[in-house]
Structure 1
């Protein structure tokens, strides 16, 4: 994973933490994230002004497991629209992946 990929991933976590209103340690415990790593990135975002990078398309790597597929009631996909973003969810999609996508969208939009 490149440094840019790590910055994107940690920026999403940083934004989610800021939005939560929780203390860093409390949020990290709930998210199962190493608190020391989070403090490191919080400081980096404050010092480096990473959070003020110009808006551009950014991609976040998400691990996909085959556990917990979404039960399909039919064969048609559903579409989730959030602002200018649309996500197509097909029958049998992974619940964890969908949850991660929604989490990233909430923190980025």
Structure 2
């Protein structure tokens, strides 16, 4: 299977899974309505879930402050807000961000 064909199949199943989730039907009922075998749906659900739970590689950028402030920084990752105060431990912040990226 070519790379393009794999990508098209992946997009097709992404649409199918979105449709399944929006339907409110059980997996078996949805598959029956769409002429698919339940094990096909289960495979792709698992595949996308596994990929979603993989750690994402982020890009670190340097932020230069124009003027020192006493209030710190607010960082938003997904639906989570982290307030970073002056004097924070960079190692702890790194671990917090990695954990949030795995969850968000």
TM-score, normalising length: structure 2: 0.45
For CA contacts below 8 A with separation 6 or more, give which structure has more relative contact order: 1
| Length-normalised TM-score, structure 1 | 0.43
Structure number with bigger Rg: 2
